[in-house]
Structure 1
Amino acid sequence: MPEPLVLAPGLYIVATPIGNLGDMTRRAIDVLGAVTVIACEDTRVTGKLMAHLGLKKPLRRYDDHADVAARDGLIALMRAEPVALVSDAGTPLISDPGYRLVRAAQAEGIAVTSLPGPSALITALTLAGLPTDRFLFGGFLPGKDKARGDMLRELGAVPATLVFYDTGPRLADTLDAMATILPGREIAVARELTKMFEECRRGSAAELAAHYREHPPRGEIVVLAGPPVAPVAPDAEAIDAALRAALERLPMSQATKDVARALGVDRHALYRRALELQAEAP
């Protein structure tokens, strides 16, 4: 039998599966079997993984609500013992609070080792069929319309594929916002990654919004928007369509501002046209 792994004191960042338990690496299993304590988001979730692996280790909760005392306790322990940090799924520190623990450990001169492994962000990028030479990860999109719109406007000018995390109940609203704020871009939605019903659907934001309103998804989702497209002078029909879509969701001033920016047309002329469209509406 191989000798059991002996680890030096310090912090070990261990990626865990995002769905398929077969994605757990041999090195990750060995490290979890050798550490003294595992810091995790949810002891129930990590407990199930440990049971599947046939391992038993003390688990300490460390999440968004962890206080300084909890962090200090882990720092004190890892000065003398090996401590693992895991998230509920995927690579720790990606949209979770683990970076504070890493910074604190490094400030104390404690060795930090990161084990590469599963990540929904990278898995979705490889499936989406969108440019990957430059991408920007925006984390979770806000749930409220204004905050979501503000983030999309802020990042929309970046010449890169944009990647966001989202949830099933909010997905259609997110796609509606992208149709208005990021018009013309290819959009991809990746869900159930590494699981039996894995899906990556690509199309326009409007097409995908209609699909997912008819087929509401569950769970956490990755939404990707391709880089900005070269502007093409829109015709009157395209302008009216964009205005109508924006006016369904936004006040007139914001709708005309978004459409003007997206299509590169005069905002004042758009405002006048928006008034005409409202007057024509039944």
Structure 2
Amino acid sequence: MNSTILDYIQNNKDSIFNEWLEATKVNADERVTKVVSDQVYIGTSREFIDLIISNIKSSNEEFTSKLSDFSEKIVRLGWPLSFVTKGLQTFGKIVFEDMQEAGIVTQENQMKVIYEFDSWMTPMVNEVVNMYSTTWERTVSLQKIALQELSAPLIPVFEGITVMPLVGTIDTERAKQIMENLLNGVVKHRSEVVLIDITGVPVVDTMVAHHIIQAADAVRLVGAKCMLVGIRPEIAQTIVNLGIDLNQFTTKNTLKKGVEAALELTSRKIVNVEGAE
């Protein structure tokens, strides 16, 4: 890069940063400014400016490593890519205009300086976009895996009795995860009775009922009994209106009643002990 531009940026780093911070904060949306404290925002912004300047002095390997670390940080903070790319453009604009005011950029050398800026900024913008996108995709992929693992847990509550609490909408992809977790869990925990708790499922339509029936059939094939619990009055009415046949299920309106029924199926019951505190 042109040594004149490099010297100017290094000698005026603090004033450039303050101008940049003011300009970007005015145009930043709530995803940038409201989710973090001013201290974190300023610290991360200064790190961003340092990253831009390091691209002038560092090797490609050093810059890529720093950019990777910074990308992971801003993805965690929830900073959108549009803010980051706009920040790069703003930095270049501030430096160019300040150099004009200082008389460093003149009519005679203006085109040469613009070319130098473009040769520096364009590859960096492309690298930032690529690294941010890669980091975001990796983060989303990891989050998706974690959500899948948590979306249909099979929880042992007594010996031979397990519960699968379902919360939220059930689509085809999630139904496959439910089926897989259910079968693996039944074998792992040696379940005799499985309670599928739909208290947290907002809507039970024909497709959801079909998935639940399939899961119950699969559980029976591996030698366990399946019970459907958490059927609220509005869900029961929907099931009747849709003509969904759940006769093959033992159904209970609460998880508590379901556990009591499961204990009876495994030749146990809950008793009150006199004198027990």
TM-score, reference length from structure 2: 0.30
Bigger radius of gyration among the two: 2
Structure with the larger RCO, 1 or 2 (CA within 8 Å, 6+ apart): 1
Question: Greater share of strand residues, 1 or 2?
Answer: 1
TM-score, reference length from structure 1: 0.30
Question: Greater share of helix residues, 1 or 2?
Answer: 2
